[in-house]
Amino acid sequence: MIRKKNKEISDKSYSIEELRKNAIDDKLFIKEIGTRKHFYKSELPYNKLLLGMRLALIAERNNGLTPYINENYVCLTCGATSGESHPESSYCFKCDTDNWSLSENANVL
């Protein structure tokens, strides 16, 4: 039986434990995103759950920190348009990835 790659991804079976592991571990999460530039637009249930869990875990991790804000950038991983970044790593404050893109409304010279 030939399995199409997309079919395989959409049918991906997973446990909550596996999902949590992939959401909390930075390297595993990046690996799950792969080269997708607009991960937040994915309609696959697994990807939606993974992103939702990631956002909740990062909110816990960043609790009490004040983000740096640069409204000229949007996050292509989680879709955040607030430009909030981690004050030290400058990664996205919401999903903790480095997947910034200049906003269409960017105010730069």
Site residues (vs Zn ion, CB under 5 A): 75, 77-78, 80, 92, 94-95
Nearest-angstrom CA–CA distance, 37 and 99: 8
The minimum distance between CB 63 and Zn ion, in angstroms, equals 16
Nearer to Zn ion, 33 or 95 (CB): 95
Nearest-angstrom CA–CA distance, 47 and 30: 12
Q: Is 75:41 a contact under the CB 8 Å cutoff?
A: no
Residue at token pair 């010279």: 109
The minimum distance between CB 95 and Zn ion, in angstroms, equals 3
The minimum distance between CB 108 and Zn ion, in angstroms, equals 20
Nearer to Zn ion, 46 or 92 (CB): 92
